[in-house]
Structure 1
Amino acid sequence: MALQCHAWNPPFVSMRPTRSVILRAPCNVRSNRQIRCVANASIQSQAEDNNKPSVVYKPTIWDYNFVESLRSGCVDETFRSRAKELTEDVRVMLNKEVEPLAQFKLIHVLQRLGLGHLFHKEIDRSLQAIYNDSNTDKWIKDDLYATALHFRLLRQHGYLLSQDVFSGFLDEKGKFQESLCDDTMGMLSLYEASYLGAEGESILNEARDFTKRHLEDIKDYRDSNLETQVKHSLEVPLHWRMLRAETRWFIDAYQGQEDLNPIILELAKLDFNMVQAVHQRDLGFASRWWKNLGLTTKLNFARDRLVESFLFSIGVTYEPQYERCRNWLTKVMNFVLIIDDIYDVHGSLEELELFTYAVERWEMVAMKELPDYMKISFLALFNTTNEMAYDILKEQGRDILPYLKKTWADFIKAMLVEAKWYQTRKTPSTEEYLKNGWVSSSGTIFLFHAFFATGQEINEEVLECLGSNPDLIFGPAMICRLSNDLATSSAELERGDVSSSIHCYMYEHKVSEQVARQYIRDRIMEIWKLMNKSITNSPFSSQFVQFCLNLARTSLCVYQYGDGLGAENSKSKNHVLSLIVKPITIGAL
């Protein structure tokens, strides 16, 4: 039985002319006057600021009426019933007694098709059984593909598997055997596994360099589908990819495979559309909140990026049951963008110090000295955050407000440091910049809110660990900073902004932008190794561990082709259309 679910075409999308971000050099007029001429800002700074550039962002291309019009046609009882039937069929497959390699292949396909959330119990049980199987060496000893798949899946689920499982593929010099290059599928599997490596794992470092070099050298492929997968992985490895975007890509790729399972493929399409319907509903709630808040009409200098903010929240957690988490993270991202634009674009140094003090105090009386545009920003943040804390206090009797207040205060103090660097034209050392920059990236704000939003039981041990900023918190926040810098540094260099790790490294070491960019990419690799080690040794729930990894993945995705939040470019628009707007057509298989 095949259900027909056709792509929904909206009646109208308000696509305003796509002009680039307008950059104006500092001039001897008030910054609010520069902005008023272009953006018609209704609330303006009262301070003289002759040293700040005017950055005018284009308006959003996704208007309120468009978001409200989103309605999926793939959520009626017929589709739910069919999905339930197919889910049970796949569950039977997972519970069937098969050889470990066949089980790993099935788990691999289900996860890449975005179906892992439906079968997490069965997958966990299968991996535990295989991990405890003393006969594992018998079926992976001479099979590079099987060994690498076995290693990657167990590692990403928190099992501490030694890199020594690959020692049998090394020659007497400790290098990978050149004969392995004939096994393209095995090489691809080893390449993907190498990105689960931790600090100091030399075999996995060698595996990554070896496979990357040889996969890039392949000229002729017998299988076009394999060629597509290799090129896709060489662009960004699987472990680093935003899950929801990867699911959408792999559904198309899986359809071209000779060994596809039509039951699994149909379920993947149905589930994608049904989850997308949940996302459309969640986005509608967020859109109404954003409109009622009214900040876009009062702060015309700031970015209006509700839909992209919601897409970011999907990157951190797409699973239907985490509706509140997406809701909170969407709100957080909108406030982060507003505050970022206040500190980078609009506020005078005196105003920024007043705003920083107000957030640190977290009291209504602290608003008294603020200019109007900051009063409305502070009060919106204050009320929204307090409401979040109230929800958890009501549910669990836990007061999380001190944690939320502190993470906002830390973020804003870090933003003030960067503003002072800019005002004084100071270029800090790279390490000084990064010590502040991982906090100003806002990554900790997202993860703290994500932790509390899930409603999981909160205990003192976990709270203590959360507050100490372990690698699972620090790592994604730093990758947020570095990926942002890679995307925006060229524009920042043009306008003389010192707040970029690339600029700092160029200035400190007297090197080219290209050299500095490579240094930052190498730092991203090292940070992933820290996070990989934490996967297997974490006091947090497996779901929160995934939130942390997903934040890093989403940051890389958002900034892969430029500033996906500052400028709504074609890649950003395509992600919104493919992940939120357009369902997958389900036809005859």
Structure 2
Amino acid sequence: ANIYFMASRGATTPGKPSSFEPSVWGDFFINYEPQPLQSCEEWMRVRVIKLKEEVCMLFKGCNRAVRKMMLVDVLQHLGLDHHFEEQINTALSEILESEFSSYNLHDVALRFRLLREHGCWISPDVFDKFKDENGSLREDITKEPRGLLSLYNAAHLLVHGETSLEEAIAFARHHLKSMRGSLKSPLAKQVKRALHLPLPRTYRRVETVHFISEYKEDEGHNPILLELAKLDFNLHQHLHLKELKSMTKWWKELSEFIGLSYVRDRVVENYLWSFVVHYEEHFGLARVISAKINVLLTIMDDTHDDHATIEECQMLHEAAQRWDGSAISLLPEYLKRFYKELLGNIKEIGDEMATSGNYKIAYIKKQVRHRYLISSTSR
């Protein structure tokens, strides 16, 4: 949603048709009934616990830095790293502190990427060993497509001023494009995805979907990791679909009550934004709260952008700053129901947050008021 708003002096009735495209989802998720899981959910969860214990044993069996890096990388690709944060942090600390003198481009780039992804500083000078006397990357490394892909992804974790990594990106992109037709699956698929969107910038759950199907093609794949990834993904997907159904029902009831036909139906997209940040099961409350807040902010934006007069925006701003049921008298008739639902939903969210003890409703109220302040002062 936009932060900068254009003044609108159109009709001030709620019945104005929306100028936005209708939702592509319609009532799909309201009527959707998730398919039953292939196995009993209780059995799946017990099996996950067992497999996680076996993965912990894999960490204990990794004595070399390269094996630790490979395990961490696969867990991240498979979307399993959230189960092993302690083990991964320990492994990365050991990798950072241990001597590493490999001349394998893939291994050097993988180490660079993993450490930077987890907030550990590592100099781009580690790639100097792959340069010629003129300071350019040597042409012989183009014979290693896997290493070149690893370099390409790693270099995208550059910071401002790291020209050597900018040059590495251009070098790797050029050669990866030229060899696309000669690569075999699954490497060919991974190169295609990276050229479209480098790994550090991609949406991880989409990467997980791709990688689960590709990992089984790898002759050296670990069946424990593959089974765990499939179980974990299916359990999460089942949960997310149930949340989407509930969110869509909430939105349908809200939109029918407030009767503002000019607002966008973007509940699925707003849920997706929250899902991108908090896909793990234990973030269910944060995921739903964030989605609902974004829906309410979307209504605010559409009111300011596409419908209300400047005077009505100022009324809404004043009511938001007061944040009290008595302020409803300040508003035009068509916004009264929305304001009532805004207060009611934020209160309900606050009650849910209070039971968890991990969130502060005051922060949400502050952000909503701040959003109104930005809206009103930018018109």
Q: 1:326-345 counterparts in 2 under 5 A?
A: 326-345=287-306
Alignment partner, residue 235 of structure 2: 274
Shift of 1:319: 0.6
Whole-angstrom CA distance in 2 between matches of 1:377 and 1:189: 51
2:19 partner SS: strand
1:225 equivalent in alignment to 2:186:
yes
Distance 1:297 1:409, change over 3 A: closer
Whole-angstrom CA distance in 2 between matches of 1:62 and 1:249: 27
CA deviation vs aligned residue, 1:289-309 (integer Å, no higher than 9, x gap): 334435566122212222332
Consecutive unaligned residues of structure 2, counting only runs of 5 or more, are: 1-7
- Greater relative contact order (Cα 8 A, min sep 6): structure 1 or 2? 2
Distance 1:229 1:287, change over 3 A: same
Question: Which one of 366, 370, 374 corresponds to residue 414 of structure 1?
Answer: 374
Shift of 1:166: 1.5
Alignment partner, residue 216 of structure 1: 177
Query: Identity rate of aligned residues, in percent?
Result: 33
Alignment partner, residue 372 of structure 1: 333
1:218 partner SS: helix
Distance 1:166 1:398, change over 3 A: closer
Consecutive unaligned residues of structure 1, counting only runs of 5 or more, are: 1-26, 40-53, 421-589
Shift of 1:280: 2.8
CA deviation vs aligned residue, 1:164-214 (integer Å, no higher than 9, x gap): 212222223322222221211111101101111112222222212221222
1:350 equivalent in alignment to 2:322:
no
Whole-angstrom CA distance in 2 between matches of 1:119 and 1:72: 28
Whole-angstrom CA distance in 1 between matches of 2:151 and 2:358: 48
Whole-angstrom CA distance in 2 between matches of 1:81 and 1:148: 37
Question: Which one of 72, 84, 89 corresponds to residue 124 of structure 1?
Answer: 89
Distance 1:113 1:311, change over 3 A: same
| Equivalent pair of 1:392/1:400 in contact (CA under 8 Å) | yes
1:115 equivalent in alignment to 2:104:
no
Distance 1:116 1:415, change over 3 A: same
CA deviation vs aligned residue, 1:79-125 (integer Å, no higher than 9, x gap): 22333332222222122133211221121111111111122221111
| Equivalent pair of 2:30/2:245 in contact (CA under 8 Å) | no
Alignment partner, residue 78 of structure 1: 43
Alignment partner, residue 124 of structure 2: 163
CA-based RMSD: 2.8
One-letter code aligned to 1:127: L
Question: Which one of 173, 178, 202 corresponds to residue 139 of structure 2?
Answer: 178
| Equivalent pair of 2:30/2:248 in contact (CA under 8 Å) | no
CA deviation vs aligned residue, 1:229-260 (integer Å, no higher than 9, x gap): 11100101111111222211221222333332
Alignment partner, residue 63 of structure 1: 27
One-letter code aligned to 1:136: F
1:410 partner SS: helix
Shift of 1:65: 6.7
Alignment partner, residue 187 of structure 1: 148
Would you say how many aligned residue pairs link Structure 1 and Structure 2?
A: 372
| Equivalent pair of 2:29/2:248 in contact (CA under 8 Å) | no
Distance 1:188 1:76, change over 3 A: same
Which segment is superposed worse, 352-361 or 122-131? 352-361
One-letter code aligned to 1:365: S
Q: TM-score, normalised by structure 2?
A: 0.88
Whole-angstrom CA distance in 1 between matches of 2:358 and 2:63: 47
CA deviation vs aligned residue, 1:377-414 (integer Å, no higher than 9, x gap): 2222223223434555566598651x323322222333
Distance 1:395 1:321, change over 3 A: closer
One-letter code aligned to 1:411: R
CA deviation vs aligned residue, 1:538-576 (integer Å, no higher than 9, x gap): xxxxxxxxxxxxxxxxxxxxxxxxxxxxxxxxxxxxxxx
Alignment partner, residue 299 of structure 1: 260
Whole-angstrom CA distance in 2 between matches of 1:71 and 1:359: 42
1:224 partner SS: coil
1:104 equivalent in alignment to 2:69:
yes
Q: TM-score, normalised by structure 1?
A: 0.58
Whole-angstrom CA distance in 2 between matches of 1:399 and 1:326: 15
Distance 1:183 1:68, change over 3 A: closer
| Equivalent pair of 1:67/1:287 in contact (CA under 8 Å) | no
Which segment is superposed worse, 60-69 or 363-372? 60-69
One-letter code aligned to 1:256: E
Whole-angstrom CA distance in 2 between matches of 1:252 and 1:91: 23
